[in-house]
Amino acid sequence: MSTLVFGHKNPDTDSVCGAIALADLKKKLGEDIAPAMQGELNPESTFVLNKFGVAAPEVVTSYAGKDVYLVDHSDLAQSPDDLADANILGIVDHHKLGDVTTGQPLECWIWPVGCTCTVVASMYKYFDIEIPKDIAGIMLCAILSDTVIFKSATCTDADKEVCAKLSEICGESDLEALGIEMFKVKSAVDGTPIRELVLRDYKDFNMNGKGVGCGQLELVDLSIVDGIKADLEKDIRDLKAEKGHHTVLLMLTDIMKEGTELLIASDDEAVIESTFGIAPVDGKLWLPGIMSRKKQIIPDLEKTFK
Amino acid sequence: MSTLVFGHKNPDTDSVCGAIALADLKKKLGEDIAPAMQGELNPESTFVLNKFGVAAPEVVTSYAGKDVYLVDHSDLAQSPDDLADANILGIVDHHKLGDVTTGQPLECWIWPVGCTCTVVASMYKYFDIEIPKDIAGIMLCAILSDTVIFKSATCTDADKEVCAKLSEICGESDLEALGIEMFKVKSAVDGTPIRELVLRDYKDFNMNGKGVGCGQLELVDLSIVDGIKADLEKDIRDLKAEKGHHTVLLMLTDIMKEGTELLIASDDEAVIESTFGIAPVDGKLWLPGIMSRKKQIIPDLEKTFK
């Protein structure tokens, strides 16, 4: 039985490409291993895999009895429901340390960088394994996506150095153009059901016993969602009710203006005001300079909930 | 304010030497950092630091408001009581993943090898920093101690390879002799209060809500403790009562015969019988081939408590 490596629920490009790359590396290190994902590809990831001719991992939702590696998360809420019945061999991630625990020693490479693929690329270097051209291409895209073309507060020198190397290997030299091409795909909303947009890059958190959800749409221009903003606002209120959450947020991030309009559905908007120091108006808030859920939204919100 | 790096409560040689080595590496990478420890040096660690002329880290028990790295543990029970008020920058470890979580991304190097110092030595290699001779000596001793001179089930090829390299750097070529010299110090019980022996290498665990303590004495010959075995048995019963634990165990490990006599104080000895498949007699059990608490005792016990 082969080992499976997979990213978080509602997979994004880093979760998918990180799993593919780690499986490639581990296979070359002698492990019988395959990438998987917990849900379907989003449009951005589909574009990235197609561009470099890489096959999509199989969708697998049950991991009981399997040996597994986790990438891009270490939170139980983002893991398969039956993770407790799997044998966790390792975690490769770039987030805060979550509540996953193990009964056996394991292998963790968790670094405070912009993207899991930056860590995986560094592992190739550590083990002195050559990165294949197609894998270099999809890792490069994952880093450009997670760091919003190096503009995000999460972006580090390590991310930029790794991208320079991946760019050489895959032959993509204009990273800004590649990034914008990808974000245009990511920005597309036409014909997509509202709920699908809300969940496109959405994560649930347990903050001191309260359920908090936060989605994010990264857009090349906020005007793209002008016509559907009221529908998005209604939908996060519905989602909050369905999940029994305290708060559901949707970040509308303008990657060119470098700021985020936050849509808020909450039992207590004062939590948002005390976190960001600005009072929401009509359930909305413009946060200049804020582009990273992981670094600029979640930690501050968790402090408020404490 | 400088960052502190420290190992678990009741520090052993790996916790002390791993903290010293990681602080040395991080200092050379530009961080303002010092090693610390949560308690006094044990006799083995004192011997090791003296042998290579390395200063003992300062004893620090409160870490509130400090930036910290954890080595050799990721369990809250083994961390400082005020860890929640510290800012965890990273964890370097070789155990199962414990219940420490963070609010911010961090740096974890956690590998399934025999010793934290094996991971730290690999980090020197990754960052291309030369290991100083004295640091190589104490890391070598930590690995020989944790792997019981390569005899423990936890020992991996990575541990042996790192030791070969450290041995070259520090000039200690007879590792078996160095190991036995160290274990003779570790084995000494004369004049040491019984409670101090029980706690010399002792850890508390929370197993499904039940408190379980497990100490270990690694001895070059079990006959060393013949005269005090009854006192040790009484003392773990006392310790169990004081802590309100379900079970307190003491492993008397014969490193030459490669087995462990387990002394048991428990509310329910059936737990031990069902874990190891042998019924204790008079609160004692001989477990041939069992030398590792981490790999051969704790995981199986945790399964039983589930």
Token pair 């891009």: residue: A72
∠ Cα B110 B115 B116 (to 5°): 50
Neighbours of A39 (CB within 10 A): 17
Q: What SS3 class is residue B92?
A: strand
B209 and B298 housed in the same domain = yes
> B227-255: b or e for each residue (b if 16 or more CB lie within 10 Å)?
eeeeebbebbbebbeeeebbbbbbbbbbb
B105 and B221 housed in the same domain = no
How far apart are the C-alpha atoms of A26 and B64, rounded to whole Å? 39
pLDDT digits (tens, 9 = 90+) for B253-299: 999 999 999 999 999 999 999 999 999 999 999 999 999 998 899 99
pLDDT digits (tens, 9 = 90+) for B182-224: 999 988 888 899 999 999 889 999 999 999 999 999 999 999 9
Q: Which of residues 173-232 of A touch B (CB under 8 A)?
A: none
Average of per-residue pLDDT across A261-275: 96
Long-range contacts of A29-33, Cβ-Cβ distance < 8 Å, separation of 24 or more:
A29/A127, A29/A129, A31/A3, A32/A2, A32/A3, A33/A2, A33/A3, A33/A4, A33/A5, A33/A69
A146 and A221 housed in the same domain = no
Write down the pLDDT at residue A200: 87
Question: Does residue A291 register a pLDDT over 80?
Answer: yes
Considering CB atoms only, which of A96, A103, A126 is closest to B96? A103
CATH number for A235: 3.10.310.20
Considering CB atoms only, which of A104, A108, A295 is closest to B299? A104
CATH number for B86: 3.90.1640.10
Rounded percentage of chain A residues whose pLDDT exceeds 90: 93
Write down the pLDDT at residue A295: 87
Residue B77 lies in a domain: yes
Average of per-residue pLDDT across A191-202: 92
Residue B189 lies in a domain: no
Confidence of residue A36 (pLDDT cuts 50, 70, 90): very high
Q: Does A98 touch chain B (CB under 8 A)?
A: yes
A203 and A109 housed in the same domain = no
Inter-chain residue contact A110 with B108, CB threshold 8 Å: yes
CA distances from B51 to B24, B138, B141, B157, B178 (A): 18, 8, 10, 26, 11
A44 and A161 housed in the same domain = yes
Confidence of residue A1 (pLDDT cuts 50, 70, 90): low
Tokens describing residue B306: 């589930």
B169 and B45 housed in the same domain = yes
Average of per-residue pLDDT across A236-241: 98
A254 and A129 housed in the same domain = no
Nearest CA in chain B to A126: B126
Beta bridge partners of B59: B37
Write down the pLDDT at residue B294: 86
Write down the pLDDT at residue A46: 97
Q: Does B30 touch chain A (CB under 8 A)?
A: no
Q: Which of B149, B184, B219 is the last residue of a domain?
A: B184
Minimal C-alpha gap between B110 and chain A (Å):
5
Please say whether the beta carbons of B71 and B88 come within 8 A: no
Q: Which of A184, A215, A234 is the last residue of a domain?
A: A184
Residue A189 lies in a domain: no
Burial degree of B27 (CB within 10 A; 0-12, 13-18, 19+): middle
**In 3D, which of A99, A64, A101 has the Cα closest to residue A83?**
A64
Residue A198 lies in a domain: yes
Residue A19 lies in a domain: yes
A139 and A32 housed in the same domain = yes
A210 and A132 housed in the same domain = no
pLDDT digits (tens, 9 = 90+) for B57-70: 999 999 999 999 99
Inter-chain residue contact A107 with B110, CB threshold 8 Å: yes
Write down the pLDDT at residue B216: 96
Strand pairing category for B210-219 and A210-219: unpaired
How far apart are the C-alpha atoms of B48 and B57, rounded to whole Å? 13
Question: Does residue B87 register a pLDDT over 90?
Answer: yes
Residue B213 lies in a domain: yes
Write down the pLDDT at residue A248: 98
Confidence of residue A275 (pLDDT cuts 50, 70, 90): very high
Strand pairing category for A259-266 and A247-254: antiparallel
B68 and B90 housed in the same domain = yes
Burial degree of A200 (CB within 10 A; 0-12, 13-18, 19+): buried
Average of per-residue pLDDT across A168-179: 96
Write down the pLDDT at residue B33: 98
How far apart are the C-alpha atoms of B222 and B207, rounded to whole Å? 29
Token pair 């408190």: residue: B211
Domain count, chain A: 2
Containing structural domain, residue A205: 194-305
Q: Which pTM does this prediction carry?
A: 0.86
Rounded percentage of chain B residues whose pLDDT exceeds 90: 93
How far apart are the C-alpha atoms of A120 and A23, rounded to whole Å? 10
Confidence of residue B1 (pLDDT cuts 50, 70, 90): low
Minimal C-alpha gap between B258 and chain A (Å):
22
A268 and A286 housed in the same domain = yes
pLDDT digits (tens, 9 = 90+) for A114-126: 999 999 999 999 9
How far apart are the C-alpha atoms of A81 and A108, rounded to whole Å? 21
Q: What is the rounded end-to-end Cα distance, in angstroms, of chain B?
A: 43
Residue B233 lies in a domain: yes
Q: What is the mean pLDDT of chain B?
A: 96
Considering CB atoms only, which of A94, A108, A113 is closest to B97? A108
- Amino acid sitting at position B175: L
**In 3D, which of A255, A237, A254, A258 has the Cα closest to residue A246?**
A237
Average of per-residue pLDDT across A28-47: 96
Inter-chain residue contact A112 with B106, CB threshold 8 Å: yes
Residue A239 lies in a domain: yes
A154 and A16 housed in the same domain = yes
Considering CB atoms only, which of A96, A99, A102 is closest to B96? A102
Q: Which of B184, B216, B244 is the last residue of a domain?
A: B184
Question: Does residue B166 register a pLDDT over 70?
Answer: yes
pLDDT digits (tens, 9 = 90+) for B234-260: 999 999 999 999 999 999 999 999 999
Inter-chain residue contact B299 with A106, CB threshold 8 Å: no
ipTM above 0.95, yes or no: no
Task: Give chain A's length.
Answer: 306
Question: Does residue B129 register a pLDDT over 90?
Answer: yes
Long-range contacts of B155-160, Cβ-Cβ distance < 8 Å, separation of 24 or more:
B155/B114, B156/B112, B156/B113, B156/B114, B156/B118, B158/B111, B158/B113, B158/B118, B158/B122, B159/B113, B159/B114, B159/B115, B159/B118
